Each structure stands twice: as structure tokens, then as C-alpha cells.
């Protein structure tokens, strides 16, 4: 290479170096744009950070609401379990009372049947007694005429009269027994009916209590459905906030990268720029 060529190349390199070191004609304008861009990025970083903080607070609030709804749900489930136990107890009481009332009614029916039978038997005995008494009165007392014209001897006539009177006495005793039996059966029926009335009152009270418990259970079930719906809404809101926070976090990272690029300027991509002039020295 000739000396003149070397001088030309050296001059070109010096010129390029000086040109590179000197600021361009619009350096002040470029610097102003960078400052404005940096301010915008800083504002974006600040606002994004605030928004992320708000989202985190919102997520925290939603998680607290979820925990509260879970507590309420657990309380409601415990209360409903208690109501179910009370309903089971009420059902047992009602079934027991209904069974006792059925037995009472059966006993009343049996007592009535026995009383009707005793009354029927007593009527039969009374009918026999009436016929015997009528025959006795028609026969009249034994006098000389009866003794004289009778085919039977006096002892036989007297024995017949004693037997007849004994039979009537027995019939009266039997009637008294039937009357006593009917009276006792009537008292037993009255007692059974009184007990039946008591059972019926208890049954009505237990049915009313059962109805109240059923209504309370339905109310708790509606409240439980509402609480579970609220829990799902809180979970959905928390998930949406988490997704939004992730997006904002990614955006914040991008803004910080831009800020770093502006702060470091040319040095940020050191080694990545092409050489200003190709050639060898």
C-alpha cells in the first residue's frame, strides 16, 4: 500500500471517530424525547405498581370472604345436622304416639264389643226372668186348692217353688253381674278415650314442632345455597384478579426493561451494534 493510500485511510478513520463522538445535529431533540418517554414509563410503572397492589388487596379481601363463607357454611351444616337429629326424634315420637293411639282405639273397640255382648246377654237373662216371673205370678201362691187338685205331693210342690225362686234369684244375680261388667267396661272406655285425647294433644304438639323444624330446615337450606353461591362468586373474582395481576406484572416487567434500556442508552446493547466502518487498520 502506498503512503498516500495509508494517509487517506487514516484520515477517514479519524473523521469517522470524531463524527461518532460528536453529538448529531438533533441530539438535543433526541435527548428531550428520551426524557419524555422515560417520564411516561415511570408514570406507567408507578400506576401499574399501584394497580397491582390494589389487585393484591382485592385478592386478599376475596380470600377473606371465601374463608368467612366457609365458616358460615360449616355452621349451617352443623345446625342442619342438629335439625335432622331433632326431626328424627320428632318422627319417632309421632310414630310412637300414633301407635299408642291405634292401640287405644283397638282397646276401645274391644271394650265396646265386650260391653255390647254383656248388654245382649243381660237382655236375654232379663227376658227369661220376665217370662219366669209372669209364669210365677200366673201360677200364684200355693194354696189348698193347688194342693188339692195337683198331681204332685206337697213336698214336691214346695221343692218346685223353692227351685223356681232360686232360679229367679240366680237370674237377678246374673243381671247384676252383667250390669257391673257393663259399668266397668264403660268406665274403661271413658278412661281409654281420655288417654286417647291426651295422646291426640301430644300428637298435635309434635306435629306442629315437626312442621316448625321442617320450615327451619328449608330456611337453612336456602341460606346454605346462597352462601355457596357467594363463595363461588368470591372464588371467581379472586381468580380474575389473579389473572389481571399476572398480566400487570408482566407489563410492569416490560416497562422496567424499557426504562433500563433508556437509562443505559447505547451501552444497553453493547456488542450488538455493527461496526461504523468495515475494513482493517
Blockwise average pLDDT, block size 10, the chain, 281 residues: 35 32 40 76 89 92 94 94 93 91 87 84 76 61 45 51 69 81 87 88 92 94 94 94 92 89 65 55 50
**What is the gyration radius of the CA atoms in the chain, in angstroms?**
59
Q: Could you tell me the residue ranges of all domains in the chain?
A: 54-249
What's the confidence (pLDDT) of residue 61?
Answer: 94
Q: Which of 91, 14, 35 is nearest to 265 (CA)?
A: 35
Q: Which of 128, 123, 230, 217 is nearest to 170 (CA)?
A: 128
Q: Rounded to whole angstroms, what are the CA distances from 194 to 106, 187, 274?
A: 14, 10, 114
Give dist(CA 220, CA 214) in Å, integer: 10
Q: What is the largest CA-CA distance in the chain?
A: 203
What's the confidence (pLDDT) of residue 164?
Answer: 64
Give dist(CA 64, CA 257) in Å, integer: 35
Long-range pairs for 197-204: beta carbons < 8 A, 24 or more residues apart: 199/97, 199/100, 199/101, 199/104, 200/101, 202/93, 202/97, 203/94, 203/97, 203/98, 203/101
Q: The pTM is what? A: 0.56
What's the confidence (pLDDT) of residue 16?
Answer: 35
Q: List, in order, residues 6 or more apart from 140 with CB less than 8 Å away.
A: 146
CATH second-level architecture of 54-249? Orthogonal Bundle (1.10)
Amino acid at each position: 500500500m502506498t503512503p498516500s493510500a495509508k494517509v487517506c485511510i487514516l484520515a477517514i478513520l479519524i473523521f469517522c471517530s470524531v463524527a461518532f463522538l460528536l453529538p448529531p445535529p438533533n441530539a438535543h431533540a433526541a435527548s428531550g424525547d428520551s426524557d419524555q418517554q422515560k417520564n411516561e414509563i415511570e408514570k406507567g410503572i408507578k400506576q401499574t405498581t399501584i394497580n397491582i397492589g390494589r389487585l393484591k388487596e382485592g385478592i386478599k379481601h376475596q380470600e377473606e370472604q371465601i374463608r368467612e363463607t366457609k365458616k358460615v357454611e360449616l355452621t349451617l351444616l352443623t345446625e342442619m345436622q342438629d335439625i335432622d337429629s331433632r326431626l328424627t326424634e320428632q318422627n319417632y315420637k309421632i310414630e310412637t304416639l300414633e301407635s299408642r293411639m291405634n292401640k287405644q282405639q283397638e282397646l276401645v273397640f274391644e271394650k265396646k264389643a265386650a260391653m255390647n255382648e254383656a248388654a245382649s246377654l243381660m237382655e236375654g237373662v232379663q227376658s227369661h226372668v220376665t217370662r219366669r216371673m209372669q209364669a210365677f205370678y200366673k201360677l200364684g201362691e200355693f194354696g189348698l186348692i193347688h194342693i188339692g187338685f195337683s198331681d204332685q205331693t206337697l213336698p214336691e210342690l214346695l221343692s218346685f217353688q223353692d227351685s223356681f225362686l232360686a232360679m229367679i234369684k240366680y237370674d237377678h244375680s246374673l243381671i247384676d253381674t252383667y250390669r257391673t261388667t257393663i259399668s266397668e267396661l264403660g268406665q274403661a272406655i271413658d278412661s281409654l278415650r281420655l288417654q286417647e285425647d291426651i295422646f291426640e294433644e301430644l300428637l298435635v304438639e309434635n306435629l306442629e314442632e315437626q312442621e316448625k323444624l321442617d320450615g327451619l330446615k328449608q330456611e337453612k337450606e336456602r341460606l346454605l345455597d346462597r352462601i355457596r353461591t357467594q363463595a363461588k362468586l368470591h372464588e371467581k373474582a379472586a381468580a380474575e384478579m389473579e389473572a389481571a395481576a399476572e398480566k400487570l406484572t408482566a407489563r410492569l416487567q416490560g416497562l422496567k426493561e424499557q426504562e433500563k434500556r433508556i437509562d443505559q442508552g447505547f451501552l444497553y446493547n453493547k456488542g450488538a451494534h455493527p461496526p461504523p466502518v468495515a475494513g482493517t487498520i
